[in-house]
Chain A
Amino acid sequence: MLVQTLEIFLIAITAGVFGSILGLGGGIIIVPVLTLLFNVPMQTAVAASTVSIIATSTGAAVAFLQDRLTNTRVAIWLEMGTSTGALSGALIAGYLNQRFLYILFGLLLAYSGYNMFKARKNELPEGVLPDRLSQKLQLQGSYTDRQLGKRIDYQVTGTIPGLIIMYFSGIAAGLLGIGAGIFKVPAMDQIMRIPFKASTATSNFMIGVTAASGAVVYFARGDVKPMITGPVVLGVLLGAILGAKLMVRLKSSTIRKLFIPIIIYTAFEMIYRGLK
């Protein structure tokens, strides 16, 4: 019992570190580890992973907010898409062919992985012209980059396309229970042209909100098992606090390079699930 709790705790710290650096929920680590290594039932693992997304988000956001890496205005604008998308996903569940969705979202991820690979050497986006809505909503941001040692001012574009993609990412989350951050980061990076670090920090900020509504439902169903979820969440929380301290000192291009294998892996896994 003690050894198992300690093992879960240590793996959860790792998940928290990576999740917070990459702006992801960490379900990609937590769910397989719990089900395959610790024989936890799938439902319990997914519930634990959903609660731990909130831990990643909350633990890391403190440091990101203080460094102004999180763009709160962009986050709230896009949360409209993710939250209504998650709601639609829950409503249409059962009416749609899940296989088709897995393949569609998988291909979408493969494509953004390819774009990310092409941009792997770029540190900051250049020559971004804000669209009119972005100017009206004052979505532009600025942060002090500790790695580059200078202040970065940036503009935001693709305001409406970004919102639409977030809506579909919300549907994926509500319907398939996946993709806390894996769709958000590429959308902010490639469509809205936000610097990569600000994209992962803003994604990290947003994922907690969608996860919270899912977690409430898992709680009500009794899927959240305190003895499993407790050590997971505590580990992820500590890992996220550590990871955030590390992340602000990393280069955007380094974080992007860490992101590429994960997005490619997730793309193939989703296509596989759709085909099998």
Chain B
Amino acid sequence: MTTHGSEPDIPSPHEPIELTLARLLRIGSFIAAVLIAVGIGTMLLGKEALATRLITAGLLALLATPIMRVITAGLIFVREKDWRFACFCLVVICALAAGIYLGRVHS
């Protein structure tokens, strides 16, 4: 219980995981928002084919963000030698990959 409350218990040479992940998510949502916004603008101008492509690209960027987030978290835990949590991330990644694979096979 002594670890409770005090500022970073184990000093780390790296920035906290929260800030790294926040930056990753901000970049991902920014790219997605810009692509989709430009896509909707293009749609209103009547260029449907280009609009579809831009919006799809934006949606894919958004989709990739949480997956990248799990992978990045896993890599951070490996760097911190926190093997237990690195394993937890690996379990999540495998389950996601299997889910995607099964879903595509069945569709």
Contacts and interface: CB of A to CB of B under 8 A. Distances in A.
B26 interface: yes
B66 A58 contact: yes
B78 interface: no
Nearest to B44: A2
Q: Summarize B's interface: helix, strand, loop or mixed.
A: helix
A84 interface: yes
A137 B82 CA distance: 10
B29 to A, nearest CB: 5
A76 B19 contact: no
Interface in A232-267: 233-234, 237-238, 241
A226 interface: yes
Nearest to B28: A58
Contacts of B89: 76
Instruction: Give the size category of B's interface with A.
Output: 35 or more
Contact of A58 (B43, B65, B91): B65
Given A58-B66, A61-B25, A79-B70, A87 B95 contact: yes
Contact of B36 (A174, A215, A233): A233
Given A217-B103, A230-B58, A212 B96 contact: yes
A209 B19 contact: no
Interface in B22-37: 22, 25-26, 28-29, 32-33, 36-37
Interface in A30-87: 51, 54-55, 57-59, 61-62, 65-66, 68, 70, 72-73, 76-77, 79-80, 83-84, 86-87
Interface string B34-72: 001101100110000001100110111011011101100
A87 B95 CA distance: 6
Interface of B: 3-5, 17-19, 21-22, 25-26, 28-29, 32-33, 36-37, 39-40, 43-44, 51-52, 55-56, 58-60, 62-63, 65-67, 69-70, 73, 84-85, 88-89, 91-92, 95-96, 98-100, 102-104, 107
Given A212-B96, A226-B39, A237-B62, 14 more contacts: A2-B44, A5-B40, A55-B29, A55-B32, A58-B25, A58-B32, A66-B19, A76-B89, A76-B92, A87-B98, A140-B3, A208-B66, A219-B63, A220-B107
